[in-house]
Structure 1
């Protein structure tokens, strides 16, 4: 054997017998990323460490040697899709991490979602910042029914959904927040619906669900809606929603099914209050944000939606703020929506909320650079 062939064999042997993998994350933006959840493609990790045991590895910060929390994301598939890491990287900095053999420490979950049959088919979800819910079939047609996305404000990083449903007294603040958000006959805090001939065509409530992942860093699920009439044509939709630890906003993908080949006009909406609030509308960057008026002792809720695709129009009606756009060629649309509470003492003014939303949009357009070594 010549030296070149021996070197090649050694390289191949070392590649297939790797005992660690390096991950480098570079922030080339002018923004600090704080407690930000990133996706590392699992196939890239397996390519470097084919024998990795998913039950026997941990992730170490290369600089501090501290173990960090991770999640294996399946996204509803039978196999792992991504390794999720929550990282903080200052502007124009790079951080390195290593996957090494060893049992990882238990990390309390920072996100959670579940079907709530004991409360008329609610589906509720949360992270360490905020909580939400959508309404199910059992509530449909009752005097409690609503059409939009509901917000449960929080002033704790603990998960509260189960405890609040158990107490069944969540319209009162017991020290960690409450549900005072009014949805009514609107899209609430950023739900989506077809918008045809200057009208919102609300679906009925979701009928079926599927949990895709459930923490600790990301919870995701699907809400499946029965067919309804949109300007004389049948339409149905599946909404895939995910929430990451540390974020005020959800990622929503609405995949529509309808008979037309044309793009479907759709609108996302933010419920508007009678008293004056503060609006921030930026059609060019797809941002619609609203800092609501003070709600007595309950405080102030801020809500927002972000679209990365071109916007047709933004409208302010008596009931809500609408962002109108269309689905793509696959009859689907992805956007971001969420909320914040001033009494959580993280974001306490309209200016801070609008700045947060603009920075969120900038990060979506200039993502972190991830390298697997």
Structure 2
């Protein structure tokens, strides 16, 4: 009889204890021998709610258990109405565990570190940036004009402030007014790491993107989708979507491409980086899928490093007169993920080819050894 009474007592007290819980604890473990600095970490929102069911999305803080200071966060929706993830930006020392407390409180106003938008006033550009670097993709209105280009563009910057709106407003972004400029040349190439089908040893370029959708927009992560209308890749009708994500503190975008075509065969594709006529410095690792390029200096404008990291097997990396190409394959209607981005020596953080290639190699290792997150 006592055991039955105890069972019913526990059945009553357990949900009451859950309702009374006033916080959740997040543990972030770094198993590697390198510090993880300014890492944006994703925690599933449903997991947080299961441990802290009374959480108020308008009245909570994330506290570093060591410093007792607030940690910047973002509620990520991924294009849905409901919250999908809690994003936090943290530093986690090598071989250590960082604990965060999620509890009731008024959070600080966090600095915007990522931003993305459609730019109709500049022929349908889509531009995005973080506190390190900026990029743009070309839209429909630019097609068949003398300014048209195929690849991804880089806007170098030497400030952690958001600069896109200011540059477009001034309209003079090819001159450095103190925060950087656009001196990167794309032309009819893949530019700074765009991807395209590679059929019969030829790049089969699409037209520019024709539709766009912003999924999330800072302060720690911005993501959006660009959609490309069907085009002919040597008698293969292909259409594509590109989901691009840029996090605070990162030099590289995460790009998730989905190619749709009427076949079950694998489609060869390449990630490309435009190569300059003058001599630059290369670091190519087919086995690890890393392609790094430190461009020749461009006069007073400085030097740009460009790189890509593929997560699918790379059959080969070629160095042509116009582009560096890393070749891989995709399946019909299945996502392929890779990373691409750039750095500028005048920003003062990555100033040599060695620094840039070390950054790419470290980034690749971090992808293979992600931070481990648990909630209680």
Shorter chain as denominator, the TM-score bin is over 0.9
Alpha-carbon separation, structure 2, partners of 1:195 and 1:41: 37
TM-score, normalized by length of structure 2?
Answer: 0.97
- Count matched residues: 373
Alpha-carbon separation, structure 2, partners of 1:136 and 1:243: 19
1:66 partnered with 2:33: no
Match of 1:369 in 2: 372
**Structure 1 position 2, deviation (Å):** 3.3
- Give the conservation status (yes or no) of the 8 Å contact 2:259–2:332: no
**1:81-230 mapped onto 2 (5 Å cutoff):** 81-230=84-233
Instruction: Give the RMSD, CA atoms, in angstroms.
Output: 1.1
Alpha-carbon separation, structure 2, partners of 1:329 and 1:260: 7
* Structure 2, unaligned runs of 5 or more: none
SS at match of 2:291: strand
SS at match of 2:151: coil
TM-score, normalized by length of structure 1?
Answer: 0.98
Match of 2:21 in 1: 18
Alpha-carbon separation, structure 2, partners of 1:14 and 1:142: 65
**Structure 1 position 4, deviation (Å):** 4.9
- Specify which of 63, 75, 80 is matched with residue 77 of structure 1: 80
- The superposition leaves residues 170-210 of structure 1 with CA deviations (integer Å, 9 ceiling, x where unpaired) of 00000110000000111000001000110000100000100
- Give the conservation status (yes or no) of the 8 Å contact 1:288–1:306: yes
Alpha-carbon separation, structure 1, partners of 2:335 and 2:370: 22
- Give the conservation status (yes or no) of the 8 Å contact 2:259–2:331: no
Match of 2:320 in 1: 317
Match of 1:262 in 2: 265
- Give the conservation status (yes or no) of the 8 Å contact 1:264–1:331: no
* Structure 1, unaligned runs of 5 or more: none
Alpha-carbon separation, structure 1, partners of 2:266 and 2:335: 9
Match of 1:285 in 2: 288
**Structure 1 position 330, deviation (Å):** 4.0
Alpha-carbon separation, structure 2, partners of 1:16 and 1:321: 57
1:237 partnered with 2:240: yes
- The superposition leaves residues 309-367 of structure 1 with CA deviations (integer Å, 9 ceiling, x where unpaired) of 11111111110100110114643211000000000000000000000000001000000
- Specify which of 329, 350, 355 is matched with residue 352 of structure 1: 355
Alpha-carbon separation, structure 1, partners of 2:334 and 2:107: 41
- The superposition leaves residues 32-85 of structure 1 with CA deviations (integer Å, 9 ceiling, x where unpaired) of 110010100111111111222111111111111101110011111221111000
- The superposition leaves residues 247-279 of structure 1 with CA deviations (integer Å, 9 ceiling, x where unpaired) of 000000111111011121110101100000000
- Specify which of 229, 250, 254 is matched with residue 253 of structure 2: 250
**Structure 1 position 116, deviation (Å):** 0.2
Alpha-carbon separation, structure 2, partners of 1:366 and 1:171: 39
